[in-house]
Amino acid sequence: MKSLGAASYRYKATPRGRASLAVYINRAAFRTALARRPRREPDSMNKIRRHGRIAAVAGVLALGALVFTGAQGFAEDPPGNNGTVKIDDIPFDQYPNNEPHVGCTFEVDFYGFDEGAFFASVKFFAHPPTGRKILLLSDSVFIGEDPAGGGTDLDAEREYNLSEELKPFMRHPQGFHVKLRVNAPGSIGKDTKFKTFWIDRCGYAA
């Protein structure tokens, strides 16, 4: 018997003495040979896969464009608890630093708030050891002139003098302790800002 991979053959004697060819199929080997043959997919399947790859690339590019556009929007007017307030002593400037020791005349600077018809509610309270939650002065300041531009985007500045309001209180070695509370509408989330600072050099005896 000779082997031809998936088939074997041998010569077999017939009743008349003639040789005939008998072919035996090895079924397992035949199936393996068929499995190894390269399968050619129809052109329609190739087109479908090619179109699918193109659509996937287009989707990735579109998503990237949306992310970039959203990042630009956040940079111009980011959502959330935007805005900050700073206490400014004489000489006044527009640099966003906070000065916790000021004279009776000082400024409150408003930075990075959202654009819109927004007015901040400003209140000053006597703070321990000077007093406890005693209202000294209240005010309203427009802060929505432009989109939120970060901590250096000045939206408003307002000058105050609390010398008359602080006269009834006892002066401490550092002066008078005051707490500022600003409610700034337009923020997403908590819209209240606080600052505590000391006021001195009010021009009258303690």
High-pLDDT (> 70) share of the chain, %? 56
Predicted TM-score (pTM) above 0.85: no
Spell out the alpha helix ranges (H) of the chain. 27-36, 43-76, 163-166
So what's the pLDDT on residue 94?
A: 81
So what's the pLDDT on residue 70?
A: 45
Could you tell me if residue 201 is left (phi over 0), alpha (psi between -120 and 50 degrees) or otherwise beta?
Answer: left
> CA angle, corner 186, sides to 81 and 99, nearest 5?
55
Confidence at 139, pLDDT banded by 50, 70, 90: very high
Phi, psi of 33 (to 5 degrees): -65, -40
Helix, coil or strand: residue 34: helix
